[in-house]
């Protein structure tokens, strides 16, 4: 991990970890897919706190972010009490959007168990409309994005979900 530049954050960012809880286990005996989203969302909360978009910002300004699109790839199952760390990369940001890539890794081996690509929009919580980031956070977001700009772009980013049409059989 590189050191953050002044006003930046570590690149990549590793602010969130979790332990698989009993209530996250489904009938197949592993973590239900919905809880991967919960863990990835926790990583966003940690990132936001580090770049000025956290809870104090939301409460003070009545602005926040909404996810507009997300793609998750599940690579390995997680079992009860498994520990994970989420590694986050800011892929890009502009005046209204932030594009992130997350890798969920086993804390013990570092093996990647899931990946999420997500696009978030800045919104006014009063109007429920997309609005530009407020001046007070623009510099922090830009510094964070700059600190991640030199990281290699993950090869799995931008993939689409598709399969050849094979059903019904001819």
Q: What is the mean pLDDT of each run of 10 residues along the chain (170 residues)?
A: 55 95 98 98 97 96 98 97 98 98 98 98 98 96 95 95 83
Tell me what pLDDT residue 166 has: 85
Q: What is the CATH number of the domain that holds 132?
A: 3.10.129.10
Residue 51 phi, psi (nearest 5): -115, 15
Domain count, the chain: 1
Tell me whether residue 155 is in a domain.
no
Tell me what pLDDT residue 165 has: 86
Q: Which of 99, 104, 90 is nearest to 68 (CA)?
A: 99
What does the block give as tokens for 77? 């199952």
Tell me whether residue 2 is in a domain.
no
**Residues 39 and 17: beta-carbon distance below 8 Å:** no
Cβ-in-10-Å burial (0-12, 13-18, 19+) of 59 comes to: exposed
Tell me whether residue 57 is in a domain.
yes
Tell me what pLDDT residue 168 has: 82
Tell me whether residue 7 is in a domain.
no
Tell me whether residue 168 is in a domain.
no
């Amino acid at each position: 991990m590189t050191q953050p530049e002044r006003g930046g954050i570590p690149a990549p960012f590793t602010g969130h970890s979790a332990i698989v809880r009993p209530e996250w286990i489904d009938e197949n005996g592993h973590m239900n897919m919905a809880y991967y989203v919960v863990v990835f969302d926790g990583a966003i909360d940690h990132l936001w706190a580090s770049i000025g978009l956290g809870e104090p910002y939301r409460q003070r300004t009545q602005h926040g972010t909404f996810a507009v699109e997300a793609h998750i790839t599940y690579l390995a199952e997680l079992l009860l009490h498994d520990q994970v760390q989420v590694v986050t990369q800011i892929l890009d940001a502009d005046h209204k959007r932030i594009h992130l890539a997350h890798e969920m890794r086993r804390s013990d081996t570092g093996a990647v168990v899931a990946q999420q690509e997500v696009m978030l929009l800045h919104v006014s919580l009063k109007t429920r409309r997309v609005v530009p980031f407020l001046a007070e956070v623009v510099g922090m977001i830009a510094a964070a994005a700059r600190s991640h700009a030199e990281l290699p772009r993950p090869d799995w980013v931008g993939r689409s979900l598709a399969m050849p049409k094979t059903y019904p059989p001819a």
